[in-house]
């Protein structure tokens, strides 16, 4: 079987949290954690992840819906420069599709969504010791306080998307 994975970059909250959420989904093959940049005025690097997924198992619509549900997509807080709420596209043809999906999802929220659709320009990976943060030790206080509640909420709102128990990364 020859699977063709697609990718999407997502930013909006702490990349430990974002990575922990997306690595827990069915159809997600890999999550790269780090910082993403776009074009001006969004050229500064902001915490984000690149999600590699199998579109036969999970749709980009589901990925975007999970993204909006698991970060403060409607809040314009003081750390937006570090946690830019965005969906980044890799191919120009994805921009209109992502905008269409985002516009459809905004109907589910009483407040305006601040999430932007932006072109992907660059990526800087996190240090190796920060990669797979949740999978390495889901019992860490940070994981229990911030990541586990997001996964618990997803079990209620989108139970069919979760892959099951998190297993430690290979080599741990």
Tens of pLDDT along 20-65? 999 999 999 999 999 999 999 999 999 999 999 999 999 999 999 9
CATH number of 6-161: 3.30.1060.10
Report the C-alpha gap between 143 and 17 in whole angstroms: 8
C-beta of residue 46 within 8 angstroms of C-beta of residue 11: yes
C-beta of residue 120 within 8 angstroms of C-beta of residue 90: yes
Kindly list the distances between the CA atom of residue 93 and the CA atoms of 96, 98, 99, in Å, as whole numbers in the listed order.
Answer: 7, 9, 11
Question: What ranges do the domains of the chain cover?
Answer: 6-161
Residue 171: the pLDDT is 53
Query: Average pLDDT, stretch 153-159?
Result: 91
pTM over 0.85: yes
Element containing residue 89 per DSSP (H, E): strand 86-89
Would strands 86-89 and 116-119 be described as parallel, antiparallel, or unpaired?
parallel
- pLDDT > 60? residue 1: no
C-beta of residue 98 within 8 angstroms of C-beta of residue 1: no
């Amino acid at each position: 079987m020859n699977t063709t994975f697609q990718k999407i970059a997502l930013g909006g909250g702490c990349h430990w949290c974002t990575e922990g959420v997306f690595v827990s989904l069915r159809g997600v093959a890999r999550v790269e954690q780090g910082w993403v940049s776009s074009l001006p005025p969004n050229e500064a690097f902001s915490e984000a992840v690149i999600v590699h997924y199998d579109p036969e198992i999970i749709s980009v619509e589901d990925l975007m819906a999970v993204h909006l549900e698991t970060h403060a997509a409607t809040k314009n807080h003081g750390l937006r420069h570090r946690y830019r709420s965005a969906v980044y596209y890799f191919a120009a043809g994805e921009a209109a599709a992502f905008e269409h999906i985002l516009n459809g999802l905004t109907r589910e929220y009483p407040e305006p969504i601040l999430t932007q659709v932006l072109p992907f320009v660059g990526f800087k990976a996190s240090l190796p010791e920060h990669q797979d943060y949740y999978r390495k030790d889901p019992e860490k206080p940070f994981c229990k306080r911030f990541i586990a509640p997001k996964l618990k909420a997803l079990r209620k709102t989108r139970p069919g998307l979760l892959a099951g128990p998190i297993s430690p990364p290979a080599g741990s």
